[in-house]
A and B are shown apart, each in its own frame.
Chain A
Amino acid sequence: MALLKKMLAQLGIEEERVRLEWVAASEPDRFVAVVKEMTQKVRELGPGAPDLVAVA
């Protein structure tokens, strides 16, 4: 994950957009909390930088 984040930073993808969590089947509340946090975080970050892929 640490190496992936370093590589994604080189590609212009913010670190906060990627997250790895281990949640046990017996932790439903934590699962919900992690999903809420993550969606909240991505909403705050807003859309990614525009795609420059298209050629003329």
Chain B
Amino acid sequence: MAKLKLALYWAAGCGGCDVAVLDVNEKILDIANLADIVLWPIALDFKYKDVKAMEDKSIDLCLLNGAIRNSEQEEIAKMLRAKSKVLVAFGSCACFGGIPALANFSNRSEIFQRVYVEAPSSDNANGRFPQTSTKVEEGELELPEFYDTVSALHQVVSVEYFVPGCPPPVDLILKFVDLLATGQLPPPGTVLGSDKTLCDECQRKKGEKKISRIYRPHEIIPVPEQCLLEQGLICMGPATRGGCGQKCINANMPCRGCFGPPAGVPDQGVKMLSALASIYNAKDEGEIAKMVEEVVDPAGTFYRFGMSTSMLKRKRL
């Protein structure tokens, strides 16, 4: 069998997804046996022009991590879409916007103002901002256009599969590679992971959920065996897809929601807000006000990884 052609790309991400691919350790050799890599900016020096010169649909699999926040990322995503038979939104940023999509509470001018003017480390007396085009003696210099809104990959190009996680767990990556190698890929549009919520899979002891105070993770050390939500921590388990292997829960940390909403749930944040509100033991207006006070940053907490794919997608300015 001819070797598969594999491309890996990073858009607006942190590089953690690329590292997660390397975390398969010696199994990377199996992947190398299975596939020839044609693009992988973090690890190998391939040029865009060489990929552009390839025929359409000549890449068998492209794992694209990171969200789309500027015109370069959009252009490369469109190019890789055209060149790839199977395009995978790899990791929470590509699937849901991820941490970069928290910038959707702001816009380009606010972000530029903060970064290039207000930041204590900025020395920018002339108020200069990045320009998409700058004329210099030698000619014209170009920079990608920075967008107001961060998008998930499937909001820009069509995508066959979604592998969520921040980063995707090694087991899930290997499962996907195995499905590909054995020709058993599920129908396009599938999100790899469980169809259940994280709560459904969680082994912690669950009792009656009634809490009268919400704690932030640094404020208490939770009992290891008991449901974290019952101990007053905002655990995103009820509103998050399972299948992650529960690394956070096993480390006694609440779920932060990186696997996105479970199947059939259109909006992760609203789902979580509703779950939390229904277990909070508030008997009067004063206690409701106390709860609202205790949830310091509801939008940032409930949409930590999912702003781009939330119903509102961004703050209205």
Give chain A's interface residues, CB within 8 Å of chain B.
Answer: 2-4, 6-7, 10-13, 48-49, 51-56
Contacts and interface: CB of A to CB of B under 8 A. Distances in A.
Interface stretch (B11-19, B40-48, B204-212, B286-294): B286-294
A contacts with B: majority SS: loop
Nearest to B298: A7
Contact of B149 (A3, A12, A13, A52): A52
A3 to B, nearest CB: 5
Nearest to A13: B316
B282 to A, nearest CB: 9
30 contacts: A2-B292, A3-B291, A3-B298, A4-B270, A6-B292, A7-B269, A7-B273, A7-B298, A7-B302, A10-B105, A10-B297, A10-B298, A10-B299, A10-B300, A10-B315, A11-B105, A11-B312, A11-B314, A11-B315, A11-B316, A13-B312, A13-B316, A52-B316, A53-B313, A54-B149, A55-B68, A55-B147, A55-B151, A56-B71, A56-B74
Interface of B: 68, 71, 74, 105, 107, 145, 147-149, 151, 156, 269-270, 273, 276-277, 288-289, 291-292, 295, 297-300, 302, 312-317
A12 B316 CA distance: 5
A21 to B, nearest CB: 16
A43 to B, nearest CB: 18
